Amino acid sequence: MAKLTETKRKEMRKLFEDNGLTADDVFQHKHFVIITRSGIEKIQAKKQISVYFNEVVMERDFVVLKATASMEDAWSEVETYGEAGPENCKNTYYVMTAEKRALSRAVLKMVGLYEHGVFSEDEGIQDE
């Protein structure tokens, strides 16, 4: 993993603190910073982020959900997707997995963490 500059480290620390995250909500993957499911929920509650889902693909072995997120104090909204199928999911609960991935991405994008290479544990990258 590339070493974080001091400026980026301070910026990320501030984002974590502003969103009420503790050491239990974050861990360092060999290539990424990962936020746990509880961390995503904390951010969503703290920032009062509303997320709505729409089905894009709903098949037996492949699901794609679109998440649209917004916050009261933000002038924009975020749209992103969560997908799940046998190629990227170890369990067969594809709707649940797609929902978690879409929610996590929407929340992280809404607060500006996704652009810093911060991902959620629901993205399935922790085992890579």
pTM of the model: 0.87
Into how many domains does the chain fold? 1
Count Cα atoms within 13 angstroms, Cβ side, for 79: 6
| pLDDT in the model for residue 116 | 81
Pair 110, 47: CB distance under 8 Å: yes
- Domain membership of residue 57 (yes or no) is yes
Range(s) of the domain holding residue 36: 6-123
How far, in whole angstroms, is CA 79 from its chain's centroid? 12
Pair 80, 102: CB distance under 8 Å: yes
- Domain membership of residue 80 (yes or no) is yes
- Domain membership of residue 65 (yes or no) is yes
Q: One digit per residue, pLDDT tens: the chain, 128 residues?
A: 445 678 877 888 888 888 889 989 988 888 788 899 999 999 999 999 999 999 999 999 999 999 999 998 778 899 999 999 999 998 999 999 999 999 999 999 998 888 888 888 888 654 44
Pair 126, 34: CB distance under 8 Å: yes
- Domain membership of residue 21 (yes or no) is yes
| pLDDT in the model for residue 1 | 42
- Domain membership of residue 128 (yes or no) is no
- Domain membership of residue 1 (yes or no) is no
Q: Angle 94-110/37-46 helices, nearest 10 degrees?
A: 50
Query: Residues with Cβ < 8 Å from 119, sequence gap 6 or more?
Result: 29, 32, 33, 34, 35, 104, 108, 125
Dist CA 76 CA 79 (whole Å): 10
Dist CA 103 CA 52 (whole Å): 9
- Domain membership of residue 40 (yes or no) is yes
Residue 18, both tokens: 């502003």
